[in-house]
Structure 1
Amino acid sequence: MFKNRLFYIVLFIILIILSLGFDARKDVNLISIFSFDKEAIDILLLSRIPSTLTIILTAASLSVAGLIMQSIGRNKFISPSIAGSQQSSILGLLIAYLFITDAPLWGQFIFSFIFSLIASFFFISFIQKLQFKNEIYVPLIGLMFGAMIGSLSMLIAQLTNTQQLLAVLGVGSFANKTIGTFELILFTVPALILSFIYAQKFNIVALGEDFSLNLGINYKRVLSLGIIIVSLISASTFIVVGSLPFLGLIIPNIVSILYGDNIKKNIWDIALFGSIFVLICDLVARLGIYVFTGLSYEISIGFIMGLVGSLIFLGMIFREVKHA
């Protein structure tokens, strides 16, 4: 197991180097960077380092948020994107834009966070009251809940002629994340720290309220903290990056298959695996068109992750049915 983790750490470091050194702009690469070319160094400092840090923090935090959502929801097939948290972030941003046209980035974040928090609390409270909690039916309910919020956002956008803004908000991309635009992603750092500190308690909460109370854990307090962490991560990452489908859903499940269900032991692996997955998808998005056509264009990483993530998710469902 140690050798496997060492391999993934080495792979993670290699991917960071590749992320810093390559994209569709071929004149700025590892050779020009190590030659201390002024333009290459400027691009490295102003664009690629912030972009790579954004990738790592976004990937790690969304993967951990998925783990927390699955723990407090006691279902392996839910995540912030399925539970309506992400769709509510879009609605919050849209409302902020309509009522405070020149709202600063932190103002947009507050709206996005509040709407995501309300939706997450509502969804978790609702599924806790369900008597029949089939592993597949709960995420279907989440998808319907998210679709209702998304439809409301679409209706508001049509009534206010802001459909173009809504379309832009839904595109996941790490392009042009320069210094001055990515700082909001730093909100994920305290959320990640709290996640690591409370990992054991989230592990206990996943076993149910009665079990938690018997072990002296304040179930409702830990549950509320988990929802706040998920909402904080959902809001900050969505404003900076946009939608990254399936990330919080598939990464915790992959790590669970490899290492088991101990949250305290797995949370570091989940952050690592999420970062590796997004770094690979980002490199494909950056270099895919250039490699095959020679044109300096990038694909949206949301498209790549949606394609790969959907295939992995289907595999997970078939695996669950097979072992049921």
Structure 2
Amino acid sequence: MKKRVWLIIAFIVLIIASISIGVANITIIDIIQLDKEAWFLIWTSRVPRTVSIIVTAVGLSLSGLILQTISKNKFISPSVVGVTDSAQLGLLVAYLFLGSLSMTSKLLFAFMFAVIGSFVFITILQKIKFKNDIYVPLIGMMFGSIISAIVSFIAFQFNATQFIDTIGLGSFTTKISGNNELLYIAIIPIIVAFIYMVQFNIVGMGEDFAKNLGVKYKQTMMIGLLIISLVTASIYVVVGSIPFIGLVVPNLVSIYYGDNVKKTSWDVVLFGSVFVLFADIISRILIFPYEIPVSLTMGVIGSIVFLYLIYRRVNYAK
């Protein structure tokens, strides 16, 4: 309980820091005196950005937790097993065959392909008898690499490589401008995820066990994959690719809080929000007044944490 209190305090402090940091200098006096320009900038730019960061962090953290729970493997996430790559393929197909589309149409295509990608991976996973902790994510990365190779080949053939490079770079700057409402669609599956969290935990124990407890295995599995796909697609379309969140956050939380997903889900979203807010602030102050894409910062921090998790698992196995 004390750890959660510290997480809440860190969460509040980082929210204040995120709203405070920006190119335009806004002082406490401006806020107290209700300066119109200062408050306009806060409510139209900094608050939406901070909310978008939190929604992204919560969505990706929960998606990783759900996928790890139903697949019974701690080393996979939507970005590792090809769900993000499938969403990218959907965007490319929509761009090539239908030309200029609204953001809603792009989300629809990304969602459909993400659903297909997630179902294909789960089907492959169910066919595998030997499910080693490292073996499964390697298969997921191979599956994702195949989809990524298809995306690169099609993009090269149709001269769309610049389009792919642009949409794949995760950032909370210009990409979310005017598209916040589309990102907020992820809030709906996030709420559903909390409702079904116990069922996901039961499903992760196996089909026979779930049926004995009265849980509809296939239906719950489908709901979980739909949640993962919709969250991944909406975040990818609006923000871009943000690596490692769904992979490292649930693992770090489980080290200190255990594997009861019903009890740890709130800690997962809190820690995920703190993690991404911190990375975003680092991205904004490293070369201030400019900033680097948060996906690069998350890639560096996340890879270090991921190596620590693997090293810890190896030592624990001994």
**Given the superposition, is the C-alpha separation of residues 147 and 30 from structure 1 closer, same or farther in structure 2, using an over 3 Å criterion?**
farther
The equivalent position to 1:75 in structure 2, one of 58, 73, 76, is 73
Partner of 2:56: 58
Q: How does 1:135-214 map to 2 (within 5 A)?
A: 135-176=133-174, 180-214=178-212
Partner of 2:313: 320
8 A Cα contact 1:65 1:233, kept in partner = yes
Unaligned runs of 5+ in 1: 291-295
Q: Deviations over 1:235-287 (max 9, x none)?
A: 00001110111000000001110100001111111011100000000000011
> 1:187, 1:257 → 2: CA distance?
31
Partner of 1:49: 47
8 A Cα contact 1:22 1:29, kept in partner = no
> 2:98, 2:130 → 1: CA distance?
43
Partner of 2:11: 12
Q: How does 1:1-324 map to 2 (within 5 A)?
A: 2-23=1-22, 25-176=23-174, 180-290=178-288, 296-324=289-317
1:176 positional shift: 2.8
1:289 positional shift: 1.1
1:220 positional shift: 0.7
> 1:131, 1:179 → 2: CA distance?
46
> 2:72, 2:136 → 1: CA distance?
10
> 2:78, 2:32 → 1: CA distance?
40
> 1:29, 1:111 → 2: CA distance?
43
> 1:301, 1:191 → 2: CA distance?
24
Runs of 4+ with >4 A deviation:
none
8 A Cα contact 1:46 1:179, kept in partner = no
Identity among equivalent pairs (%)? 47
**Given the superposition, is the C-alpha separation of residues 140 and 165 from structure 1 closer, same or farther in structure 2, using an over 3 Å criterion?**
same
> 1:169, 1:228 → 2: CA distance?
22
8 A Cα contact 1:59 1:274, kept in partner = yes
* Paired AA for residue 315 in structure 2: K
Deviates more, 1:28-37 or 1:173-182: 28-37
8 A Cα contact 2:57 2:269, kept in partner = yes
> 2:152, 2:177 → 1: CA distance?
32
> 1:182, 1:26 → 2: CA distance?
21
Q: Report the aligned-residue RMSD.
A: 1.2
Q: TM-score, normalised by structure 2?
A: 0.97
Q: Deviations over 1:5-45 (max 9, x none)?
A: 1111111011111111113x152355533443322222111
Unaligned runs of 5+ in 2: none
> 1:285, 1:259 → 2: CA distance?
29
Q: TM-score, normalised by structure 1?
A: 0.95
Q: How many residue pairs end up in the alignment?
A: 317
